[in-house]
């Protein structure tokens, strides 16, 4: 089984999105998608006249911003992906982290409704795969009292992969992790990530992704890959991250 994390910028690239779903047709019984949609959430918040800020790659999420964030991620982004899956002949099922067996709690008071993930069970996803569905999981989650949370989609993908003991692949809008000269780095480990982060080469969204990939590599005891949209069935492309 493998979990593929799709960055939200895919939603703005219809040709890439179509090609990606076409390349999933043969592996749909063992693929689970976790998706972002940060740029869409940003657009919805701006249209509503709300100023949104990020702290180390995480969107500060006050309660009053949550209807727009939930609407953009669990609503519009999720349904745009469902639409493409259906057009490709794949049977999708749109879910939140709750149905994927993940419970959330507040990361820190300063970040508002930003959630971190805790695992509780994994049965439903395996059953949906057996029934021939492609699970499309947004990064919206819920706490034990039903409160809603905005989880960074990279962190969400790490939790889903951990829950399913699955391989993990991050697909994004660059070829992988790039060095200070913009060249692809093929392999990274704890030490090289530390050095590149201190040197400011890995930043923003890529920092969240690389940290998540390293955490997943440790937990899953296997390497994790970061690559571009067309890397889905190319196991030697992108950046491979191991302990």
Ligand X SMILES: Nc1ncnc2c1ncn2[C@@H]1O[C@H](COP(=O)(O)OP(=O)(O)O)[C@@H](O)[C@H]1O
What does the binding site for ligand X2W look like in residue numbers (CB under 6 A)? 7-8, 36-38, 41, 58-59, 69, 73, 114, 139, 150, 152-153, 205
Please name which of 76, 80, 58 lies closest in space to residue 67, comparing C-alpha atoms. Answer: 76
Measured distance CA(126)–CA(212) in Å, rounded? 23
CB of 33 to ligand X, least distance (A): 13
Tell which one of 201, 219, 230, 242 touches ligand X (CB under 6 A).
Answer: 201
CB of 105 to ligand X2W, least distance (A): 13
Q: Whole-angstrom Cα distance, residue 165 to residue 15? A: 31
* Residue 227 binds which entry of ligand X, ligand X2W, none, CB below 5-8 Å type-dependent: none
Exactly one of 13, 108, 187, 203 binds ligand X (CB under 6 A); which one?
Answer: 203
Element holding 130 (H helix, E strand): helix 123-130
Q: Which residue has the tokens 């979990």?
A: 3
DSSP state of 107: S
* 137's tokens: 């999981």
Residue whose C-alpha is closest to residue 213's, from 5, 21, 9, 25: 5
Distance (Å, whole) CA 153 – CA 235: 22
Footprint on residues 18-37 left by ligand X (CB under 6 A): 36
Q: Is 227 in the site for ligand X (CB under 6 A)?
A: no
> CA 74, 6, 80, 57: dihedral to nearest 10 degrees?
50
Q: Which of 154, 155, 167, 175 is catalytic?
A: 154
Given the rule CB under 6 A, which of 117-125, 126-134, 157-165, 202-210 is the region that contacts ligand X? 202-210
Give the binding range for ligand X (CB under 6 A) out of 45-53, 82-90, 137-145, 196-204: 196-204
Q: How far is the CB of 141 from ligand X2W (least distance, A)?
A: 10
Report the chain's terminal Cα–Cα distance, integer Å: 21
* Residue 154 is a catalytic residue: yes
- 5 in active site: yes
Q: Could you tell me which stretch among 25-33, 76-84, 85-93, 166-174 binds ligand X (CB under 6 A)? A: 166-174
The residue whose two tokens read 């395996």 is: 126
Query: Where on the chain is the footprint of ligand X (CB under 6 A)?
Result: 7-9, 36, 38, 154, 172-174, 177-178, 201-206, 209
Known catalytic residues? 5, 8, 38, 154, 209
């Amino acid at each position: 089984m493998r979990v593929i994390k799709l960055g939200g910028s895919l939603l703005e690239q219809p040709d890439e999105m179509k090609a990606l779903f076409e390349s999933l047709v043969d592996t749909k019984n063992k693929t689970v998608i976790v998706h972002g949609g940060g740029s869409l959430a940003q657009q919805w918040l701006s249209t509503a006249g709300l100023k949104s800020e990020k702290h180390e790659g995480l969107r500060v999420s006050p309660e009053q911003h949550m209807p727009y964030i939930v609407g953009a991620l669990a609503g519009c982004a999720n349904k745009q992906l469902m639409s493409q899956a259906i057009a490709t002949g794949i049977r999708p099922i749109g879910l939140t982290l709750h149905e994927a067996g993940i419970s959330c709690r507040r990361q820190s008071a300063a970040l508002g409704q930003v959630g971190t993930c805790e695992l509780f069970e994994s049965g439903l996803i395996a059953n949906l795969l057996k029934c021939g569905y492609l699970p499309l999981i947004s990064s919206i989650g819920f706490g034990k009292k039903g409160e809603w949370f905005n989880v960074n989609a990279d962190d969400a993908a790490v939790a889903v992969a951990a829950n399913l003991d699955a391989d993990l692949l991050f697909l994004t809008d660059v070829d992988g992790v790039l060095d200070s000269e913009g060249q692809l780095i093929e392999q990274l480990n704890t030490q090289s990530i530390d050095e590149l982060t201190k040197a400011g080469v890995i930043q923003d969204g890529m920092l969240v992704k690389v940290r998540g990939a390293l955490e997943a590599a440790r937990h899953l005891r296997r390497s994790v890959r970061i690559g571009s949209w067309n890397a889905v069935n190319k196991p030697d492309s992108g950046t491979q991250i191991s302990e």
